Amino acid sequence: MMQTGLFDWQTRFEQLNNGGDPLVKLNEVVNWELFRNDLQQVREKARKSNAGRKPFDVVLMFKILILQSLYNLSDDAIEFQIRDRLSFMRFLNLTLGDVVPDAKTVWLFREQLTEAEMIKPLFDRFDDFLRKNGFSARKGQIVDASIVPAPRQRNSRDENKQIKDGQIPDDWSDNKRRQKDTDARWTKKNGKNTFGYKNHIQVDAKNKLIREYAVTEASKHDSQVFEELLDEDNSSRDVWADSAYRSQQTLDTLGQEGFREHLQ
């Protein structure tokens, strides 16, 4: 096997730069350390003891969530992409010899932020950095949704009925409750049944960056989240989406708000 040296990596990174890697610009304009204090406070509240392996750096974990948002990746996909893509490794300041957080670690960190109600404030601050440094939302917006599979639950019919009604079975222990996913739901797309969630995103057409997002159970129809994703601050009134969003109500809403629809 051929040995790689420092100059080999420098050459590869130069090629990425010439190709317009946007993550380089993000690292230049975003002061990630400004997020550390809030992230660390959430981590300290969530940790029950200092025993065990030293946790991954909170800023590193937050940047991983940013990558997930920008590229619409599941937990398993982000773990693979960090290992596979040089641009992601450089963005996270990781080397080939560093340990990469696995999908479960990413999920747990996001859950900690969600429980602390910090996801939206942190992402709003990140978006503010983008807008102030030349990444304002321009040339219209693209709305889309994707299904994110979750581990299938092995519940009884009665347990599933209670969960669907918004209840938790009384006989579940605290440990069992922590292991069960009671928010994910089944959906059918292209003849395939999938259990999980749905990522709803709005991307600005100029920079191809996600500006708004929402996560729902997989069974929620795309059109039900459409209006809350629209960005009034985009420089263009053009809105693109696929036929799943096309309904008379959607068309009426776009027309009333002064948007130009491109729903195909």
Q: What is the pLDDT of residues 165-188, one digit of tens each?
A: 888 888 888 788 777 888 888 998
**Mean of the per-residue pLDDT values for the chain?**
84
> Which position has the token pair 């599941």?
74
How far apart are the two ends of the chain, measured CA to CA in Å?
50
* Range list of β-strands (E), the chain: 141-149, 185-189, 192-204, 210-217, 238-241, 260-263
- pLDDT digits over 190-239, tens only? 888 998 888 898 888 887 778 888 889 999 999 899 999 999 988 999 99
C-beta separation of 106 from 75 below 8 A: yes
| Cα gap 148→74, rounded to integer Å | 6
Ordered by start, the domain boundaries in the chain are 6-132, 141-263
pLDDT of residue 29: 83
What Å distances lie between residue 165 and 12, 117, 136, 185, CA to CA?
54, 25, 42, 12
> Whole-model pTM above 0.95?
no
State mean pLDDT over 127-132: 82
Q: Are 175 and 182 in contact (CB under 8 A)?
A: no
* Tens-place pLDDT, residues 75-92: 899 999 999 998 899 999
pLDDT at 50: 60
Cβ(223)–Cβ(241) under 8 Å?
no
3-state secondary structure of 196: strand
